[in-house]
């Protein structure tokens, strides 16, 4: 009998954990899940030009920090609703990055890899971190390997500032407080939350990076099933992808609220 009670106690404590988890809204209302029937690995790996892709559009200047940024059309429709609701509450959202294809990500990655662009803290990757795996892991704190970025998909955006401190006071604090309270109603989630038992791998926390889950969640599942580490090639340092297990540790290293169940 004692054993039975212990088991029941264990089950109820597990249940408590589940109840806590379910306070994260599960399914954004009124947004059907994206049908992945026609998804290809070329799309998921960013090997296309958003300027000529029929599902993408330019972001009008008033929503972004500069001209020439692209986003999925369906994501933009949802984003506009969130933008205007935020504006009504006195919060100004600005898209500071959106779709980046393989070539754009390759440029960022290789600039960091070769030291042309210094890493956070002034680190020159090539000179200071000669070991390829260690160098890749350092760059992976904030930048994706080409072929594995959620920015390829047109579902993910960076908002207001690429700087966690910005969101800790003043205007930035107002922005993040509003987003944490309201973004789920528009289908958006904060992707790279702090590390905890719910998110144990992946990029460092990024308070600026948001995903549109009705499209990005099915794409995440698709990527986990179909993209293999051996497919991650075509840039300097790509030989480390398999050892690092980028698909498992980075594509999947997101907060569970970004993987709601289909409605
Ligand atoms: Zn981002």
Q: Name the percent of the chain lying above pLDDT 70.
A: 88
Given a cut of 70, is residue 226 above it in pLDDT? yes
pLDDT at 23: 44
- The burial class, CB within 10 Å (0-12 / 13-18 / 19+), for 122 is exposed
Q: Domain limits of the chain?
A: 46-258
Q: Name the percent of the chain lying above pLDDT 90.
A: 86
pTM value is: 0.88
Q: How far is the CA of 10 from the centre of ligand 1 (A)?
A: 39
Q: Which residues surround ligand 1, an ion (CB under 5 A)?
A: 158, 209
Q: How far is the CA of 169 from the centre of ligand 1 (A)?
A: 21
Given a cut of 90, is residue 20 above it in pLDDT? no
Burial per residue of 240-261, b for 16 or more beta-carbon CB atoms within 10 angstroms, e otherwise: bbeebebbebbbbbbbebbbbe
pLDDT at 78: 96
Q: How far is the CA of 225 from the centre of ligand 1 (A)?
A: 22
How does pLDDT run across 149-170, given as a tens digit for each residue? 999 999 999 999 999 999 999 9
Q: How far is the CA of 158 from the centre of ligand 1 (A)?
A: 5
Question: Any idea which fold 46-258 has?
Answer: Muramoyl-pentapeptide Carboxypeptidase; domain 2 (3.30.1380)
Please give the residue that has the higher pLDDT: either 208 or 17. Answer: 208
- CA 118 to each of CA 11, 193, 250: distance values in angstroms, whole numbers, following the listed order: 50, 24, 22
How does pLDDT run across 183-200, given as a tens digit for each residue? 999 999 999 999 999 999
Given a cut of 70, is residue 18 above it in pLDDT? no
CA distance 54 to 177: 35
Contact in structure between 99 and 154 (CB atoms under 8 Å): yes
pLDDT at 32: 86
How does pLDDT run across 106-147, given as a tens digit for each residue? 999 999 999 999 998 999 999 999 999 999 999 999 999 999
Q: How far is the CA of 149 from the centre of ligand 1 (A)?
A: 8
């Amino acid at each position: 009998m004692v054993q039975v009670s212990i088991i029941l106690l264990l089950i109820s404590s597990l249940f408590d954990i589940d109840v806590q988890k379910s306070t994260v809204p599960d399914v954004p209302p009124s947004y059907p899940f994206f049908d992945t029937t026609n998804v290809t690995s070329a799309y998921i790996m960013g090997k296309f030009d958003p300027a000529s892709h029929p599902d993408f559009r330019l972001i009008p200047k008033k929503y972004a920090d500069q001209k020439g940024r692209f986003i999925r059309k369906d994501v933009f429709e949802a984003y506009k609703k969130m933008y205007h609701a935020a504006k009504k509450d006195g919060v100004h959202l600005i898209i500071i990055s959106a779709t980046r294809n393989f070539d754009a990500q390759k440029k960022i990655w290789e600039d960091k890899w070769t030291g042309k662009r210094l890493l956070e803290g002034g680190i020159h990757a090539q000179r200071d971190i000669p070991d390829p795996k260690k160098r890749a892991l350092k760059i992976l704190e904030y930048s994706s390997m080409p072929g594995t970025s959620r920015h390829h998909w047109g579902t993910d955006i960076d908002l207001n500032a690429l700087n966690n401190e910005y969101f800790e006071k003043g205007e930035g604090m107002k922005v993040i407080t509003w987003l944490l309270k309201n973004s789920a109603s528009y289908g958006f989630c904060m992707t790279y939350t702090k590390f905890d038992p719910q998110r144990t791998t992946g990029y460092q926390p990024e308070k600026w990076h948001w995903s549109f889950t009705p499209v990005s969640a099915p794409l995440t599942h698709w990527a986990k099933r179909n993209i293999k580490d051996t497919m991650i090639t075509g840039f300097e340092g790509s030989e480390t992808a398999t050892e690092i297990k980028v698909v498992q540790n980075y594509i999947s290293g997101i907060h569970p609220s970004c993987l709601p169940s289909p409605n």
